[in-house]
Structure 1
């Protein structure tokens, strides 16, 4: 990482040696480095299902909206409706008070959730293959903010699929290019999705000529937002369980990863229970 980026960022539990090589925590027991700084005391009446996601997706999605600089009344695009993207949509609607939200994905259950729960205008990129043109029809002046919650894994064109297969690029620029075309002049693009190294055909001229702010959100500083996120949960302004679709015992983890990766059975977010978990609420 230091050679690639110039500096190292941080170590992340459960990631590769690229970010520290620290063992993961999907186990009955785990040794937590600096555990005294990684504990948040939660109210006794807060269900496990709401408390657990304060460790990751809730503050990460809040961080993305915060870094994007969203203001009340903004029009905001969200690319990718996995757990982070759906949580971003909820933050935008309930807390940051965006006026209009457009959500882009190709999984019907996720598009339906964004539309029905939080009033997002949705685009299925398999039906509307020119996403930028579709957004232009709905938002002639462009979006105020665009947030990438999808990332490098989803090559759509034959060109990028071939380049990835041949090792000519590690990440696809397709989503970022859609965002550049869809965001208004002097608007903001924020990236909370994973990107690793190099991409081709990146529309860098659009960043400069349109005066866009391109913000890499980085690995979210979870502890920074714990208390504010917990406050919104307690007030009923944000519900982490809104995207919770399944609950499984810990030993099912390998199978669940496979099914989630294949987008099977409507799985969006899973609660993995250990012998320490309280009964389902």
Structure 2
């Protein structure tokens, strides 16, 4: 499920474009993470939106009442909960501030795509990762009692536009429109790599492995050399890679799932 930030500007006229340094608001993209999370839940999950969001809402109440209010509405209404905060989002990042974000951008739906598999069908990768891209991600992976595996990669963006009213930081991944240059179409995903893979054998997924730092090409080669994703072999490959961390949750045989983090 592709939850990458999208290029903004859906439904708006093409701006003239900037000739100098664009404002930070011009780099704010359309957020897709809430829609991707709830799409995953609706497609593959069994719990309710409120149940899976309860922990995040509780944590936010201690840190930011404004953010807790946003998360609570998302938990109750799903992605359309964002529409209740359209006015605040537009005031902070919309046309009047030099930004491209529109209300129509907030209605975009994430795509569900087939994974890219290796020749032996032991590895399945996110299909949208450029092999030369450098991943700098956080990884979450888990297995439930029925052996269903989930893995996700996300970036903690440090560059963006603060929206104090909502307790949020609008992500600064979009490409500003520059005069004389071709405009990237609204709705196109921004280039954010995901160095994650599902690992398995005989068509059965056994676990998920992700790298927090590394070039996608190197990550794929590392996992291909240790397709069973056993800790000793993956640790050796990670140390050879020389940087980053590997995060994995694995179901080995009929035993309990094993989770671990390796750092180099």
TM-score, structure 2 as length reference:
0.28
Structure with the higher fraction of residues in helix conformation = 1
Q: Could you say which structure has the higher strand fraction?
A: 2
Q: Which has the larger radius of gyration?
A: 2
TM norm structure 1: 0.27
